[in-house]
Amino acid sequence: MAKKTILIVDDDADYLFQMKLKVQQFGFDTITADSQKEAEQIMATTKPDLAILDLMMENDDSGFILSYKMKKKYPDVPIIIATAVTAETGMSFDVRTEEERKWIKADLFLDKGIRADQLQREINKLLKI
């Protein structure tokens, strides 16, 4: 069976590197981007099996925009938005209700600082592994 590929997008170089290492240790191939713009260029030619997106990059809503564009082009690709927005601003987002899922096109919201074992469980669940 071919390895699944996960797109990881974050403008924090250290966090991006750590996530890439974790995801590769779980046995997945990775593609990384450090901006919304770079992620959009990758999405134009590559369909990942799953995407992990930062929420706030060039714009406060970069993750929402990428999620929307990804679901429009590849509706079956699961998306995790990993964010520190709650810790930084006190604002909370989720995708538990139908109304939230209508405007937030992500499958899962995770607060940054997620443990590796939890991240692996969530990825496996979304990929149905």
Report d(CA 110, CA 100) in Å as an integer: 15
Report pLDDT for 19: 94
Spell out, as residue ranges, where the chain has pLDDT lower than 50. Answer: 87, 89, 95, 101
Report pLDDT for 114: 86
Report pLDDT for 99: 57
Evaluate whether residue 26 is within a structural domain: yes
User: Which CATH number goes with the domain that contains 29?
Assistant: 3.40.50.2300
Report pLDDT for 87: 45
Domain that holds residue 102: 20-127
Give 62-109 as a DSSP string: HHHHHHHHHHHH-TTS-EEEEE-HHHHHS------SHHHHHH---SEE
Q: Quote the number of domains for the chain.
A: 1
